[in-house]
Amino acid sequence: MHRRALILTLAAALMLLPASSAAAASFAVGLSAPTHHPKANRFWPVTVTAKTRSGKPLHATATYQFVYQGQVVQTRYPSPNANPRSACSKAGTCRRSPWPFFGRMRDATFSWPARAAGIPLTLRVLVRVKGMGSAHADYAVRVRR
């Protein structure tokens, strides 16, 4: 009796694994920026894409995460339409939820603070697509003064 229950449990677990890994890998995320050595307090345009494996654009949301030595140390939300000279844009606090986009998002208001200079950081863009899961793209940087 116990053996049959164990086999049924293992079979159910194996049926769940391919569905979750297939959902996580069913679309592609792209991240591009002009350089790996941005200047502090200068605009650094970022472009994020979300497409199917065959290249069709997807409805998605984007979130920025800042990673130091493998740990997420800060989470911010893109706000491409904000006034780049505003205080909230400089602090990265204009938006409090992920930015929705279709296929491609360009954020020309992104800038690195002076306190990040000299520290090896990674910009991670977390992209979520409804019904398809989430994926991320990483971009290593070392900010200059």
pTM: 0.79
Residue 16 lies in a domain: no
Neighbours of 41 (CB within 10 A): 15
Judged against a pLDDT cut of 60, whether residue 36 lies above it is answered with yes
Residue 20 lies in a domain: no
Residue 46 lies in a domain: yes
Phi first, then psi: give them for residue 106, nearest 5 degrees.
Answer: -115, 120
Of 88 and 55, the one with more pLDDT:
55
Neighbours of 80 (CB within 10 A): 20
Which range has the worst mean pLDDT, 11-15, 35-39, 115-119, 134-138?
Answer: 11-15
CATH classification of the domain holding 115: 2.60.40.1940
Average model confidence (pLDDT) across the chain: 84
Judged against a pLDDT cut of 60, whether residue 56 lies above it is answered with yes
Give the contacts of 24 (CB within 8 A, at least 6 positions apart). 133, 134, 135
Residue 11 lies in a domain: no
The total number of structural domains that make up the chain = 1
Measured CA to CA, the distance from residue 43 to residue 45 in angstroms comes to: 6
Secondary structure (3-state) at 79? coil
Residue 36 lies in a domain: yes
Instruction: List the end-to-end C-alpha distance of the chain, in Å, as a whole number.
Output: 68
Residue 9 lies in a domain: no
pLDDT score at 118: 95
Domain that holds residue 62: 25-142
Judged against a pLDDT cut of 70, whether residue 8 lies above it is answered with no
Residue 10 lies in a domain: no
Contact 34, 43 (CB under 8 A): no
Residue 6 lies in a domain: no
Judged against a pLDDT cut of 50, whether residue 119 lies above it is answered with yes
